[in-house]
Amino acid sequence: MLGLVFAVVTHADFKRDYGSGVRDYTKGDYGDAITALQKAIDQESRAQEKVRIYGMRYEPYMPYFFLGQAKFKNGDCAGALAAWKESLAQEIIQKQELFSELQANMASCDSMKVDVTKIAQEAQEAIGGLQENIDLFANMESEQLLSSEWTSRWQPELTRARTTVQTLSARLQTAIDETDEAGIRAIQTEAQTASSAITDSQGLAVARVNSIKQSQARDASRQLSEARDALVQAVRKGKAIEIKQGSAQMATLQQQLQTLLAQGESNIDSGSANPKQFRELAQNISNLGRRYILSEQDWQAEQRQLQLAEENAAEAKAAAQRRIPPNALKQAAEAYFAGNYESVVSLSNPDSLKEDRAKVQALLFRAAANHKLYVLSGESDTQARQRSEDDIRAIKRLNRNFSPYIAAFSPGFLELFRQTG
C-alpha cells in the first residue's frame, strides 16, 4: 500500500511541476519555468495528448516543447533546439496549434546560428598540431638508450596523448553539429594544452638521452684514464728492471721487453689506444718482465753451478742441481707467464717430480693456470676453479707454511690460495 501511495504521489508531482512550469513560462519567469519543467521531465519524460492537470482540466503534456520555449526566451538557442528536437520526436506537438510557433522559433534560432567554420578549423589545426607532436615523440621509441625505461616511463604518456586526440576529434564533430562555439574553443584550448604537454615530455626524453650519453662518456673517460695509469705503471716497472748480460734467452726477452716498452710509451703519448688496448699492453709488459726475471734467475743458477763445479765438481754439481728447477717445471712456468694457461695444465705433472718443493711449484703453476681459465670463462668454468682448489689443498698438505710469491700471481688467485683450506 505504501508503494502504491508513493507512486500516486510521484505521478501527481510531475503534473504539478508541469503546470507550475507552464504558468511560469506564461508569466515570463523563464528561469523558474525551466527548473519546474525539468523536474517534471525527470519524473515523466513521455509526452501525452491529454492529462488531467487539476480538477476537470485536461491539457496536452508536452514538457520538452515548453522547456524549449523557455530556453528560447532565455536566449539559449542551442538548449532550445535540443528540447524541441525531443518534442518533435514524441509526435504530440505536431497535432497542436503551437506547432507553428515551434517552427517559427526554430527558424529564428537557425538564422542566429553562429558560423563556426573558422573556429572549427582552428580547433582542427590544434588537434593536428597535437598529432604531429605525438608522431615526433613516438619516433623516440627507437632510441636504444631509452629502451630499458620506455615502457614504464614514456609509453603511458604517449598512450594518453593518443587517447586525447581521439576524444577531442569526436567532441569537435559533435560541437560543430551543435554549433557550440564555446565547446569548440574549449576543445582547441585542450588540444593546445595537450600538445604543449607532449612537447615537454619529448624535451624531457631528449634531455634523458643526453644525460645517458654524458654519463657513458664520463665512464669511458674514467676507464681510459684507469687503463692508461695501469700502462704507465707497467712501463715504469718494466724500465726499472736491471738489464744484464746473460743467456741467449735473456737477450731475446730483453729485446721483446724493449719493443713492448716503446709501444707502451708511444700509446701513452699519443692517447690513440682504447682502454682494452692499454690493459692488454700493460699485462703483456708485466708478464714479459716476470719472464725476464725468471730467465735471469735461471741463468744465475747456471753460473753458480759452473762456479761450484770448478771448486768442487761433485759437491757443487749436486748442490747446483738442487737449485735448478726441472725442465718440466721450467716449461710450465714459461707457459704460464706467456699466457698459455691450457699448456700449463697439461705440462704441470707433479707426480713426475721427485722433490716435494718441485711438486709444490708444479702444483702452484697448475692451480694458478686453472684459476686463470676460470676467470677467462667469465667465472662459468666451475670445474677449472675446483681443480685449482684441489691443487692448493695438495700444496698445503706437502708444505703447510708455503705461500706464493706475491708479485708473480694475481690478487684473485692469492686470495683463493689464502681462503682454500
Does residue 165 carry a pLDDT above 90?
yes
Long-range CB contact pairs, 158-164, < 8 A, 24+: 158/134, 158/198, 158/201, 161/130, 161/133, 161/134, 161/137, 161/194, 161/197, 161/198, 162/134, 164/130, 164/190, 164/191, 164/194
Each residue's pLDDT tens digit, 149-159:
999 999 999 99
The average pLDDT across 259-286 equals: 82
**Residue that the C-alpha cell 525539468 belongs to:** 38
The average pLDDT across 310-327 equals: 67
Q: Per-residue DSSP letters for 264-302?
A: HHHHHHH--S-HHHHHHHHHHHHHHHHHHHHHHHHHHHH
Q: How confident is the model at residue 276 (pLDDT cuts 50, 70, 90)?
A: confident
**Chain center to CA of 289:** 45
Rounded-to-integer distance, Cα 258 and Cα 61, Å:
113
Each residue's pLDDT tens digit, 131-142:
999 999 999 989
> Nearest CA to 286 among 232, 347, 325?
232
Per DSSP, which regions of 276-386 are E strands?
none
Class of domain 2-111: mainly alpha
Each residue's pLDDT tens digit, 363-409:
998 999 999 999 999 999 999 999 999 999 999 998 999 989 888 89
> Nearest CA to 229 among 275, 182, 190?
275
Q: Per-residue DSSP letters for 345-375?
A: HHH--GGG-SSHHHHHHHHHHHHHHHHHHHH
pLDDT for the residue numbered 296: 84
Rounded-to-integer distance, Cα 326 and Cα 318, Å:
14
User: Which one is predicted more confidently, 214 or 311?
Assistant: 214
**Other CB atoms closer than 10 Å to residue 157's CB: what's the count?**
18
pLDDT for the residue numbered 321: 64
C-alpha cell recorded at residue 148? 630499458
Rounded-to-integer distance, Cα 124 and Cα 110, Å:
24
What pTM does this model have?
Answer: 0.42
Does residue 54 carry a pLDDT above 80?
no
Rounded-to-integer distance, Cα 412 and Cα 379, Å:
12
- Mean pLDDT, the chain, whole residue set: 86
pLDDT for the residue numbered 2: 41
pLDDT for the residue numbered 234: 86
Does residue 37 carry a pLDDT above 50?
yes
Domain residue extents for the chain: 2-111, 117-215, 241-324, 327-332+339-421
Determine the residue type at 167: T
Q: Are 21 and 40 in contact (CB under 8 A)?
A: yes
The average pLDDT across 273-290 equals: 85
Q: Are 360 and 405 in contact (CB under 8 A)?
A: no
**Chain center to CA of 239:** 47
Q: Radius of gyration over alpha carbons of the chain, in Å?
A: 49
> Nearest CA to 62 among 106, 19, 110, 27?
19
Does residue 30 carry a pLDDT above 80?
yes
Q: How confident is the model at residue 5 (pLDDT cuts 50, 70, 90)?
A: very low
The average pLDDT across 234-251 equals: 84
The average pLDDT across 47-72 equals: 87
Each residue's pLDDT tens digit, 84-100:
999 999 999 999 999 99
pLDDT for the residue numbered 134: 94
**Residue that the C-alpha cell 738489464 belongs to:** 243
pLDDT for the residue numbered 316: 52
pLDDT for the residue numbered 267: 82
